Structure 1
Amino acid sequence: MSQDKFLLNQSAWRLIDESITARSRSALESFAMDDALCQLVGQQESVPVVRTWVHDRTIVLGIQDHRMPFIQEAIQKIKQNGYQAIVRNSGGLAVVLDEGVLNISLIFSEQKSAIDIPIGYEAMLSFVKLLFPEIDEQIEAYEIVGSYCPGSYDLSVGGKKFAGISQRRLRQGVAVQVYLCVEGSGAERAELIREVYETGLQGQPTKFSYPDIQPHVMASLSEILGAQLTVNEVMIRLQLLLRSLTDDIRHGTLTDEELDLYGFYLQRVVDRNQKMLS
């Protein structure tokens, strides 16, 4: 069995489903949650975790994005479009979150053996292919030029990107995160980000090379499949997939002790975000 498949075949998985409960909360809470779970899983105080999360209209900026010469104007633009703006605590560039975008985090421990960065990416790629068997052979992983938050593990079908994978490593924990554009228009989301860059850069030369967004290279899974797919339907697929991977699925939220740790990471994320945006 390849190492990425081995990562998915855990003896137990813990499922933390926040696809409904997190919607009205700040996306900063999700980044804090993954940091807390990274530590818990990394230190083997929890079995590996699958966490799902959805947030209402938010544009998550990367560290480079907040260095745009006209960042305050860009944030105003985001607010005018009815979105919140936050800066994430890991790499990558701006992405759109809304009720049609499902985020999945797979959280593993490196306590017993190291997980190479490519193996983490491949594990999530395998997971997404297992979620969508009807297109698994068409899903490709390579950088889609013109997409927002481009990277070598952009997931696409026929050159249309529907997902992007990132990783965060902390205290021997590895969080591999994917955002899946499930519902709605991929191009409309990309147009939003294109406007953010246009407003934030205003043609000024910068050391960093920001993406030249081409909205037509992005699509949702509903658009790719040519059928209306909902976040709730993907959640049902995910739960069935987990059942095929293990007999031991543990549901439930954080314990009181785990909540204390989460509070620590949330404060850190909130303080950092305020500093970035001030």
Structure 2
Amino acid sequence: MVSASSLLQQKVWRYIDHSKVGLTFSALQSFAYDDTFCASVGGGESDPIFRSWVHAPTIVLGIQDGKLPFLQEGIAFLKEHNYEIIIRNSGGLAVVLDEGILNLSLILPEGKGIDINSGYQAMWNLIQLMLARYRVPIEAKEIIGSYCPGSFDLSINNQKFAGISQRRLRNGVAVQIYICVTGSGSKRAEYIREFYNISLQNEHTKMVYPKIVPSTMASLAELLNVNLSISEVITLVLDALKKLGSLIIPTEKLTENEQALFTFNYNRILKRNHVIHSNK
């Protein structure tokens, strides 16, 4: 198996920046992009990819959220607060996207023997390197009371600011993280707490949904007590990768094959979301 540290030490990273243009298109496209790049990298048609993405206010539901007994009532609540609603094509539960949340994807070939823990560890190590100047311990452990809790929640002083997920497709691995950079982490959590309250209405379900405690979540700006911007954090990440000896090659163009596959993936995700929204 490949070590987590070696996963970050790629000779070349193909860098795709959707941190600004992503505000103009649906977050559904981001999941279609990562599926596309999994196939491209996994098939040996592309160098490993590092992608940054930011979207306008959106609640991203997991597949299990689609089984909530009063889902449409919960969706109506979120829409009243000006959130778009989508369901992603992978596991996990509801998370928030907005202008203060930075998403990063590391897309690597699975053929290198990347086990699940190595992928998570690599992203954790990258965030530790990125924030090294602040000299704060960053823990990876489940934060009970946070939204979309997992064993690789990233926290400072037991307050979660980031969550990591993985998707494996067509011999590629996408290790994804959302980082709450600015704004109020607890305010975002309040919306998710109310969404679950409305969508469950105390009904018993096979799936155990999280009981959200908003105070368990915060942004990096809040935790570090500094002014941060999305662009500054992206620069910190790119600098960390460069210090590991990687060459960063910025590009926004897709190859002809990638464009065709992206169109296919996007249409597939659109169909899934149409079913969710039409299930009145």
The residue identity in structure 2 corresponding to 1:195 is E
Letter in 2 for 1:43: G
Give how far 1:26 is off.
Answer: 0.6
Pairing of 1:136-155 with structure 2 (within 5 A): 138-155=137-154
Q: Which residue number in structure 1 is paired with residue 193 of structure 2?
A: 194
Kindly provide the amino acid, as one letter, of the partner of residue 249 in structure 1. I
Q: What does residue 26 of structure 2 align with?
A: 26
Q: How does 1:102-141 map to 2 (within 5 A)?
A: 102-111=102-111, 113-135=112-134, 138-141=137-140
Q: CA deviation at 1:275?
A: 1.7
**Contact 1:57–1:98 (CA under 8 A) maintained in structure 2:** yes
State the SS of the aligned residue for 1:91: coil
1:107-154 CA deviation, whole Å, 9 max, x = no partner? Answer: 01022x321100000000001111110346510011000000000000
Distance 1:191 1:251 in 2: 37
1:238 to partner: Cα distance: 2.0
CA contact (8 A) 1:13 1:246 kept: no
Normalising by structure 2, we get a TM-score of 0.96
Tell me how far apart the structure 2 counterparts of residues 269 and 131 of structure 1 sit (CA, whole Å).
32
1:1-278 correspondence to structure 2 within 5 Å? 3-111=3-111, 113-135=112-134, 138-253=137-252, 254-278=254-278
**Which has the larger displacement, 125-134 or 100-109?**
125-134
Output the amino acid matched with 1:263. T
Contact 1:25 1:55 in 2 (8 A): yes
Q: Distance in 2 between matches of 1:238 and 1:205?
A: 43
Paired residues of 1:194 and 1:212 also in contact (CA < 8 A): yes
CA distance in 1, matches of 2:10, 2:44: 13
Cα distance, 1:136–1:9 mapped onto 2, change above 3 Å:
farther
Aligned equivalents of 2:40 and 2:161: distance in 1?
Answer: 30
Unmatched runs of 5 consecutive residues or more in structure 1: none
Counterpart residue identity of residue 217, structure 1: T
Matched residue SS, 1:23: helix
AA matched with 2:183: G
Q: Structure 2: which 5+ residue stretches go unaligned?
A: none
Question: 3-state DSSP class of the match of 2:15?
Answer: strand
Distance of aligned partners of 1:247 and 1:164 in 2 relative to their CA distance in 1, 3 Å threshold: closer
Q: Please report how far the alpha carbon of residue 23 of structure 1 lies from its aligned counterpart in structure 2 after TM superposition.
A: 1.0
Q: How far off its partner does 1:56 sit?
A: 0.4
Secondary structure of the residue that 2:23 maps to in structure 1?
coil
Distance, in Å, in 2 between the alignment partners of 1:246 and 1:263 is 34
SS at 1:64 equivalent = helix
Q: Is the 8 A contact 2:62 2:87 kept in 1?
A: yes
Report the Cα offset of residue 220 of structure 1: 0.2
Distance 2:87 2:181 in 1: 23
Letter paired with 2:109: S
Q: Is the 8 A contact 1:167 1:174 kept in 2?
A: yes
Give the TM-score normalised by the residue count of structure 1: 0.96
- Number of aligned residue pairs: 276
Q: Give the deviation of 1:264 after TM superposition.
A: 1.0
Residues 52-61 or 232-241, more deviating: 232-241
Identity of paired residues, percent? 51
CA offset at residue 49 of structure 1? 0.5
